[in-house]
């Protein structure tokens, strides 16, 4: 094929190249397949995990504070993680401690969003009038949906 007009020749080459490119591109493809899953929730869930001094704490597991002198405090690192799907208020209490004793956690009463956590010290305060011996009490952690 002979072209007398250079512009016509360039146009023909461009059309031929586009046609070849289009035909070639139609034959190429790529796919990507992914397995997918979800958990269907029919209700709000309130749940949490605990760590004590950096180690997981099983539900209802015994807790042993370090030895403490009368008039002083004993503390341990304590954290909760909100593993439920709603914002939750956490409280830490002990209803069977003697009157002059106290148990505190600096995040007591705070709201923790789903997936969030709070790390602080769980502190037992012992009065100076305490007598020597073993003190046994219960710690209750309550998670309440906001």
The four Cα atoms 88, 94, 99, 100 give a dihedral, to 10 degrees, of: -80
Please name which of 57, 45, 25 lies closest in space to residue 115, comparing C-alpha atoms: 45
Question: Tell me, what's the pLDDT at 119?
Answer: 95
pLDDT averaged over 10-residue windows placed end to end, the chain, 146 residues:
48 46 56 73 83 90 91 94 93 91 94 95 93 91 91
> Which pLDDT score, from 0 to 100, does residue 41 have?
64
pTM: 0.68
- Number of C-beta neighbours around residue 85 at 10 A: 16
Thinking of the domain 48-145, which architecture would CATH place it in? Sandwich (2.60)
Residue 19 is predicted with a pLDDT of 47
């Amino acid at each position: 094929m002979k072209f007398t007009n250079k512009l016509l020749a360039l146009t023909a080459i461009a059309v031929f190249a586009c046609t070849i490119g289009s035909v070639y591109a139609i034959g190429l493809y790529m796919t990507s397949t992914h397995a997918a899953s979800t958990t269907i929730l029919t209700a709000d869930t309130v749940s949490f995990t605990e760590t004590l001094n950096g180690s997981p704490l099983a539900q209802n597991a015994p807790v042993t504070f370090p030895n403490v002198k009368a008039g002083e405090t004993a503390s341990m690192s304590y954290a909760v993680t909100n593993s439920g799907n709603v914002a939750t208020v956490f409280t830490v209490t002990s209803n069977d401690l003697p009157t002059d004793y106290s148990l505190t956690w600096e995040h007591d009463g705070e709201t923790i969003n789903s997936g969030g956590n709070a790390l602080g010290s769980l502190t037992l305060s012992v009065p100076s009038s305490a007598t020597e011996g073993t003190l046994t009490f219960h710690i209750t952690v309550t998670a309440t949906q906001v």
